[in-house]
A and B are shown apart, each in its own frame.
Chain A
Amino acid sequence: MMTKDRDYEDILRRALAAAAESIEPTGDGLQRIRHRLDSRRSAQSLLSRCAEWLELHGTRLLVRFEPAIEWGRAGLRRVLPVLASFLAGLFSPRGRPGGHRGSGTPSPPGRLGPAGSWLKPVFAVAAAVAIVVAGVVVLNHETQTVINPLNSSSPSGSGTSVGSGGKTANSKRWKLPLGVVLPTQQAGGQAPNPKMKAALPAVACTPTPTPAPSSTATTPAGSATGTPTPTASGSATSTPATPQPTDTVPTTPTPTVSAATGGTTTATAAALVIPDDAGAPDGAGAPAVVECGATPKTSYIP
């Protein structure tokens, strides 16, 4: 019996080995594994980039949308008691004329009738969903009302690439910042926000196909006049061969307006500080520093 078992084991071993010989994997297994690993890595790096972005801009967004958040909070404070009383009314036990539960007297159906036992939770869930939807809609509306004045500009159908709401030839991120008015707009075009136009000086902002030297300064030094003034942070030369970008620009606490150039432009980076009384839509009580060539930012200047 044992020898017979051994025979069968040997037969099985040989048969499996022979069958395995006929199975030949394709040669690109390692490439496919690496490809999968790379795609996983890229997904991970995307996630980490998102986390970094949130970490970097989260506070800024919170500050920018503080009025909307406050408005939402106030609205919730007003709505919550009403909702609570409504829910309490839905779930509160009604007075039963028959006395205690189990006394043999069937309790009369509630205001909702016999289907009340399952209608109440449905109503509660529906009310909660409606509140969430209303909150989202209101927040969206508030966000747009805050963002629209920032990004509104001349009609984009004109075909001009300069400051037409981000529709430029060289960069998708190029947007006309708050308060920056093009000379053409000044001449005949309609201003995005007449109040802003009246309150803020005009700065010419002309992007070029050549990449501007990167400057990380949020408050470059300069004078407080409306005219952009070239400073040490950027040269106003028109020769593209000799741009003088500086990566480390000392920040100054004074409200300034400056311009830095790179390439053949006259001004590729400008910052404006909007005073409190200019009616800044961020409403944070702090002047908003916006750069030409970057999305408008808000920062506190002590």
Chain B
Amino acid sequence: MTRAAVEWDADRAVTAIYTEHYRSLVRLAAFLVRDTATAEEVVQDSFVAMHGAWRRLRDTDKALSYLRQSVVNRSRSVLRHRMVVDKNTPKPPPDMPSAEHGAIIQLERSAVVSALRALPDRQREALVLRYYGDLSEAQIASVMGISRGAVKSHTARAMAALRAVLERDS
């Protein structure tokens, strides 16, 4: 297949997958990075990467899996970067909301989501992929790049922590 044909095919795939999955991917990323604008950036970057890798993928299912994996990896990068930035910037006064606060507040409408936010990153990823993305353990393992056993472990620990928080609050 010529390069132009591959590019044309990739363009079509981007449009098709965007129409069907963009919103859910942005929501998935928003749960991970806790910020809708950043989530959109992450998903758009992933689409661009998928377009570049289309010669290898050439399949919508593979592309969707690639996109999920890319979103999770890029979200991790964002969180890592954010952690470094937070370490080096002075903390705002307690009565002054941070810039991120406005974006986060919409995610914290329920106690469950705020408890989810308090979980470690990997556990949160496992829960979101499982209970929001409705992925199987094998799919979660593939997306997170860990074993199925590790997925089970992360999920079980996350559920225990979540339950403890909810029971304590109630």
Contact among B51, B110, B127, B159 with A18 in the assembled complex (CB-CB below 8 Å):
B110
Q: Report A110-137 CB contacts with B as 1/0, cut-off 8 Å.
A: 0000000000000000000000000000
Q: A22: shortest Cβ distance to chain B, in Å?
A: 5
Cα–Cα, bound, A24→B52 (Å): 27
Which of B20-28, B79-87, B143-151 is the contact stretch?
Answer: B20-28
CB pair B106–A22 under 8 Å, yes or no, is yes
- Nearest to A19 among chain B residues (CB) is B113
Contact bitstring B99-141, A, C-beta under 8 A = 1, else 0: 0000000110110110010000000000110011000000000
Partner of A20, one of B27, B51, B127: B27
Task: Say yes or no for A84: interface residue by CB 8 A criterion.
Answer: no
Binds A, one of B41-49, B58-66, B68-76, B89-97: B41-49
* Bitwise interface map of A from 1 to 44 toward B, beta carbon under 8 Å scored 1, else 0: 00011001101110111111011111001101100110010000
B48 & A37 in contact (Cβ 8 Å cutoff): yes
Chain B interface helix/strand/loop/mixed: helix
In the bound complex, do residue A12 and residue B106 qualify as a contact, i.e. CB atoms below 8 Å apart? no
In the complex, the answer to whether A30 meets B15 with C-beta atoms within 8 Å is yes
* CA distance in complex: A18, B155 (Å): 21
- Partner among B18, B113, B163 whose Cβ is within 8 Å of the Cβ of A15: B113
B40–A37 CB distance below 8 A: no
The count of residues in chain B whose C-beta lies closer than 8 Å to any C-beta of chain A is 36
Whether B6 is near chain A, meaning CB under 8 Å from some CB there, is no
CB contacts (< 8 Å) of A40 on chain B: these are 48, 52
Contacting pair B18 A17 (CB below 8 A): no
Q: Are B109 and A19 interface neighbours, CB within 8 A?
A: yes
Contact A29 B113 (CB under 8 A): no
Complex partner residue of A25 from B15, B22, B107, CB under 8 angstroms: B22
Are the CB atoms of A25 and B40 closer together than 8 Å? yes
CA distance A282 to B27 in the complex (A): 65
Contact A12 B40 (CB under 8 A): no
The answer to whether B22 and A22 touch across the interface, beta carbons within 8 angstroms, is no
Alpha-carbon distance A26/B39, docked complex (angstroms): 11
B44 & A29 in contact (Cβ 8 Å cutoff)? yes
- 1/0 per residue, CB under 8 A from B, across A268-301: the answer is 0000000000000000000000000000000000
Residue on A with the closest CB to B111? A15
Cα(A199)–Cα(B23), bound, Å: 74
- If A25-B23, A32-B44, A36-B44 touch, whether A8 touches B18 (CB-CB below 8 Å) is no
CB distance from B115 to the nearest CB of A (A): 9
| Given the contacts A25-B40, A29-B40, A16 and B128 also touching, CB distance less than 8 Å | yes
Contacts of B127 in A (CB 8 A): 12
Q: Given A12-B112, A37-B51, decide whether A30 and B18 contact each other with a Cβ distance below 8 A.
A: yes
Neighbouring A residues of B110 by C-beta, 8 Å? 15, 18-19
- Please tell me if the beta carbons of A26 and B40 are within 8 angstroms of each other in the complex: yes
Known: A12-B131, A23-B27, A32-B44. 7 other contacts (CB 8 A): A15-B112, A16-B112, A17-B132, A23-B107, A29-B43, A30-B15, A33-B18
- Give me 26 A-to-B residue pairs in the complex whose CB atoms sit less than 8 angstroms apart, sorted by A's number: A5-B159, A8-B163, A9-B159, A11-B166, A12-B127, A13-B132, A16-B31, A18-B109, A19-B107, A19-B109, A20-B24, A22-B106, A22-B109, A24-B23, A24-B36, A25-B39, A25-B40, A26-B40, A29-B22, A29-B40, A30-B14, A33-B18, A36-B44, A36-B45, A37-B14, A37-B51
Give me the 9 closest cross-chain CB pairs, A-B, nearest first: A15-B112, A20-B27, A25-B26, A16-B132, A33-B47, A13-B131, A23-B27, A15-B110, A19-B113
